[in-house]
Structure 1
Amino acid sequence: MQDYQRLLVLNLLAYATQKNLSAAQLCTLSGIEFSTLKKGENLTLTDKQLDDLWLNATHLSHDPLFGLHFGETLQVAALGVVGELIRHSRTIGEALTHAVAFAHLITDIFVMDVTRADKSFFIRFTPDTSRQKVAPLLFSQMMDFFMAFTLHEVDGLVLEKIQPIRISMPPISADLPEYERVLRCHSIQEADYYELSFDESFWDEPILMANYELQGVLLQKVSAMDSAFGDRRKISERIGSLLLVNSYLGIPTLEAIAANLNTSSRSLQRKLQEEGITYQQLSDSTRKSLALHYLGSGQYPVKEVSYILGYNELSAFNRAFRRWTGTTPVSYQKGIING
Structure 2
Amino acid sequence: MHNQPNWLSSGLAVELVHALFEGVQLPAARRKTLLMQAGIAPRVLEQPQNRLPPAQFARLYRLLVQLFQDETPGFFSRPLRPGTLKFIGLSLLDAPNLQVALHRFAHLFSILQDDARYEIKILDDQVELRWIELQAPQASRELVHQLMLRLIHGLASWLIAEPLPVTEVAYAFAPASSVVFAFYPQVMTYHAPLSCLRLARRHLQAPLRQTKRDLQAFLRRAPADWLDVAMDQDRVVHQVRDYLMRINPAAKVPEVAQRLHKSVRSLTRQLAQEGASFQQIKDQLRRDLAIEQLGRRHLPINQLAEQLGFETSASFYRAFLRWEGCSPRTYRQRLQG
**TM bucket, shorter chain:** 0.3 to 0.5
Greater helix content = 1
Normalising by the residue count of structure 2, what TM-score does the alignment of the two structures yield? Answer: 0.45
